[in-house]
Amino acid sequence: DAGVTQSPTHLIKTRGQQVTLRCSPKSGHDTVSWYQQALGQGPQFIFQYYEEEERQRGNFPDRFSGHQFPNYSSELNVNALLLGDSALYLCASSRQGARTEAFFGQGTRLTVV
Amino acid sequence: GENVEQHPSTLSVQEGDSAVIKCTYSDSASNYFPWYKQELGKRPQLIIDIRSNVGEKKDQRIAVTLNKTAKHFSLHITETQPEDSAVYFCAASSTRGSTLGRLYFGRGTQLTVWP
């Protein structure tokens, strides 16, 4: 079991550009949540996908969008990048239902210059 | 929405001593409380969790306590070792309702264990 995998691990983008980050959930998991972790802070919830639909959304602008595919993998897209979008983006997978243990990927370090 | 406060922000202990990290939450609907350990440059790793129907849970040197009435929970590490040095995050979540599975994190505690 490879656990939760994310790609790429590091990324440098210019202000105004667009970026796509990818996540493959742990085997047996059907729910993917995305978090943004700024330096020295706790992860902040961006949104959650289940059954290919966005189920919940945190306090992030519409520039942040996502998608979930039939194999449960997910993408996070950020348009019109700002310097403040520089952060570690974490994907967490879990199973819907009573048990909600979430397992995190290693993250994508995004730097906007 | 839920608000999780975590204290202290930094904690230094001597190897072999105990370490305690405390968190409070605001939403009585929260019923699942995981703790994550994050080493520098690595992913957050789930180290222990507790559900609201339990007051205490222990796993070797790590224990977590929950006081639902006061809405606070704590992480206890005994016999600390240098490899326990990391940032620890508490989180709160609900297993039902519109925020099912969403984790609300504290700001983290940097634990340093000196040999």
The 10s digit of each residue's pLDDT in B7-37 is 999 999 999 999 999 999 999 999 999 999 9
Distance from CA of B49 to the nearest CA of A (A): 8
* Residues linked to residue A91 through DSSP beta bridges, in sequence order: A34
pLDDT of residue A21: 98
Percent share of chain B, pLDDT over 90 = 87
With an 8 Å Cβ cutoff, is A33 touching chain B?
yes
- How close, in Å, is residue A17 to chain B by CA atoms? 25
Task: With a cut of 70, say whether residue A100 has pLDDT above it.
Answer: no
CA distance A109 to A111: 7
Tokens of A54: 């966005």
As a whole number, mean pLDDT of residues B38-62 equals 93
Percent of chain A with pLDDT over 70: 96
Query: Is 80 exceeded by the pLDDT of residue A47?
Result: yes
Say if the Cβ atoms of B103 and A35 lie within 8 Å.
yes
pLDDT tier for residue A103 given thresholds of 50, 70 and 90: very high
Task: Annotate A9-45 with DSSP letters as a single string.
Answer: SEEEE-TT--EEEEEEPPTT--EEEEEEE-TTS--EE
Q: CB-CB: which of A45, A94, A107 is closest to B43?
A: A107
Q: How confident is residue B39, by pLDDT bands cut at 50, 70 and 90?
A: very high
Residues B15 and B84: their CA atoms lie apart, in Å, by 9
pLDDT in tens, A78-93: 999 999 999 999 999 9
What is the count of residue pairs from A and B with beta carbons less than 8 Å apart? 63
User: What is the C-alpha R_g of chain A?
Assistant: 13
Tell me, yes or no, if A43 comes closer than 8 A to chain B by beta carbon. yes
* Residue A107, beta-bridge partner list: none
- Mean pLDDT of the A26-30 span: 91
Evaluate whether A58 touches A43 at the Cβ level (below 8 Å). Answer: no
**Gyration radius from chain B CA atoms:** 14
Alpha-carbon span A93 to A70, nearest angstrom:
15
